[in-house]
Amino acid sequence: MEERHKRILQRNRVNLVSDLNPSDMYDGLLSKGIFTQDMIDEIKRSGTRRDQARQLVRDLETRGSRAFPALIECLREKGQHSLPDLLLAGEPQSQPLPLPVLVRPVVRPLPVYSHVDTVVTPVYPSQPVRPLHITPVYPSQPVRPLLTPTTPSVSPEREFGKPRATGRVRRDSIQSYKMDASPCGHCLIINNVDFEPQSELNNRTGSNIDCDKLERRFQSLNFVVLVKRNLKQKQIRQELSALSKKDHSQCDCCVVIMLSHGTEVSHNRFPGAVHGVDGPNVPVQLITNYLNGRNCPSLQGKPKLFFIQACGGGERDTGFEVTPDEDRPCIGGTDDQTDAMPMSSSSDSLSTPSDEPDARATLPTPSDILVSYSTFPGYVSWRDTQAGSWYVETLDNVLEDNAANNDLVTMLMMVNHEVSQNSAKGLYKQMPGSFNFLRKLLYFQVLPCQRPIQA
């Protein structure tokens, strides 16, 4: 879209958001080749009529030089003549009038300009006059204002809507996902506790505590929660496949939680893998693929969240010294265990010259996916046999205290900070993190009381 048309849309955004009926525009913009059906479906999912109108105007700015004329044509076809007249009032005529030469005033009233022959002369009135806009006067021509951007007379609160009663701060530049379906979506929890002898992996004592916390938490966030325990590798893949084949069209989100031993694997998207109780692992990259837009069409454009409580490798982080004002008493006990798979290869393999360039060169941009890891790739994740894992305990507490007012990414940053303050055996540290490919803010539903939803 031409810059002048973008400026017109931006200058009139308040009126467009207030008066535009997006549903009247979809067929016309589709038939004129301005939008695709996928783009229209995405706009429809953006929320209220005002949200859809705001997204439609924003998307129009990216659709080339034909977008603005097509909008005008569609508005007139639907009888919305006031909006085209408003937008075209900012368009120059076929023979634009010459702009007068502006004289910079020093400490004097703003001048009124008059055109005499070919010389532009500023004429100052005898009394101080301070007009709101400088208006050039042309002989035998209608008076027209200078084509300068005007300041909207409406406050941002009027344009963007009143702040929500929940106290959230509206950020118009970043939209929020639709999260008001009931139930909001499906949540699959795979909890591997008892490992078979041939796996050479210890049982994960304390993981049932994590599982119970997360089951209650996501039920309180209006999810249908399904818990599966002690699955082999093949069974993990079967459950993920079954989840991808569900009809999510009436849902707004999907959550997968993996509680198991983990390890480091080669990857070109998401690092790490989780083990079945029989020993073989399922890469996190494969776990996310089950729910991507190609394999699960009913989740296209909807957030898909993965929470991984497992080790990312076998390396233990002893941390680094900090200044006294950053230090605080360590948290952790003698019952802390790791979720690491014994390995002969070093966790540094992710940063070797042969791996790192390939991983970066082939990194795609999957949309609407967030993978939250309990620990940094290559490092162990700590679990207390009596209280559960550091990560899950902190995640549960943060969701309980902040889900009503904060978006998910902000809350995960809180989790990162809190877990980073812990110490295992007074020595070892842990740093959670996430791979975030969400396109919008995500606010969970918070039910007034916990009422379990049966899977």
* CATH number, domain containing residue 14: 1.10.533.10
Determine which of 176-185, 236-245, 412-421 has the lowest per-residue pLDDT on average. Answer: 412-421
Most confident by average pLDDT, 19-28, 87-96, 280-289, 442-451? 280-289
Of 74, 211, 254, 311, catalytic = 311
Contacts of 365 (CB under 8 A, 6+ apart): 437
Residue 365 lies in a domain: yes
- Please give the pLDDT value at position 431: 82
Determine which of 146-150, 182-186, 317-321, 346-350 has the lowest per-residue pLDDT on average. Answer: 346-350
- Please give the pLDDT value at position 15: 81
83 with 214, same domain: the answer is no
75 with 117, same domain: the answer is no
Count of Cβ atoms closer than 10 Å to residue 14 Cβ: 16
**pTM value?**
0.54
* Res. 414: pLDDT tops 80: yes
327 with 407, same domain: the answer is yes
- Please give the pLDDT value at position 267: 64
66 with 115, same domain: the answer is no
Residue 137 lies in a domain: yes
Residue predicted with more confidence, 74 or 170? 74
Task: Determine contact, residues 415/391, Cβ cutoff 8 Å.
Answer: yes
Q: Is the dihedral of CA 250, 253, 258, 259 positive or negative?
A: negative
Residue 157 lies in a domain: no
Q: Considering the chain, what is the average pLDDT of its residues? A: 74
Distance CA 279, CA 341 (A): 9
Chain-centre distance of CA 4, in angstroms? 30
370 with 235, same domain: the answer is yes
381 with 264, same domain: the answer is yes
Q: Name the band, by pLDDT with cuts 50, 70 and 90, for residue 455.
A: low
Residue 452 lies in a domain: no
234 with 305, same domain: the answer is yes
Q: Quote the number of domains for the chain.
A: 3
- Please give the pLDDT value at position 320: 36
- Please give the pLDDT value at position 390: 80
* Res. 381: pLDDT tops 70: no
Q: Name the band, by pLDDT with cuts 50, 70 and 90, for residue 347.
A: very low
Q: Name the band, by pLDDT with cuts 50, 70 and 90, for residue 338.
A: very low
261 annotated active-site: yes
Residue 176 lies in a domain: no
Q: Name the band, by pLDDT with cuts 50, 70 and 90, for residue 139.
A: very low
18 with 123, same domain: the answer is no
32 with 124, same domain: the answer is no
Q: Please state the rounded mean pLDDT for residues 438-452.
A: 81
> Among residues 419, 424, 401, 390, which one has the least CA distance to residue 209?
390
* Res. 125: pLDDT tops 70: no
Determine which of 52-66, 149-163, 290-304, 400-414 has the lowest per-residue pLDDT on average. Answer: 149-163
- Please give the pLDDT value at position 302: 94
Task: Determine contact, residues 276/192, Cβ cutoff 8 Å.
Answer: yes
- Please give the pLDDT value at position 172: 52
Residue 443 lies in a domain: no
Of 5, 248, 261, 275, catalytic = 261
Dig out the tokens for 331 from the structure.
């948290």
Residue 95 lies in a domain: no
Q: Please state the rounded mean pLDDT for residues 333-358.
A: 36
50 with 194, same domain: the answer is no
311 annotated active-site: yes
Please write the tens of the pLDDT for every residue from 190-247: 999 999 999 999 898 889 999 999 999 999 999 999 999 999 999 999 999 999 999 9
- Please give the pLDDT value at position 307: 96
Task: Determine contact, residues 445/179, Cβ cutoff 8 Å.
Answer: yes
- Please give the pLDDT value at position 150: 42
Q: Please state the rounded mean pLDDT for residues 24-33.
A: 88
- Please give the pLDDT value at position 382: 65
Distance CA 270, CA 155 (A): 43
Most confident by average pLDDT, 38-52, 233-247, 346-360? 233-247
263 with 389, same domain: the answer is yes
* Res. 428: pLDDT tops 90: no
> Among residues 326, 323, 339, 327, which one has the least CA distance to residue 432?
339
> Structural domain of residue 11, as residue ranges?
3-88
Q: What is the CA radius of gyration of the chain?
A: 29
Going by the DSSP 8-state scheme, the letter that residue 340 receives in this structure is: B
Residue 332 lies in a domain: yes
* Res. 328: pLDDT tops 50: no
* Res. 252: pLDDT tops 70: yes
Q: Give the CATH number of the domain where residue 364 resides.
A: 3.40.50.1460
What SS3 class is residue 397? helix
199 with 124, same domain: the answer is no
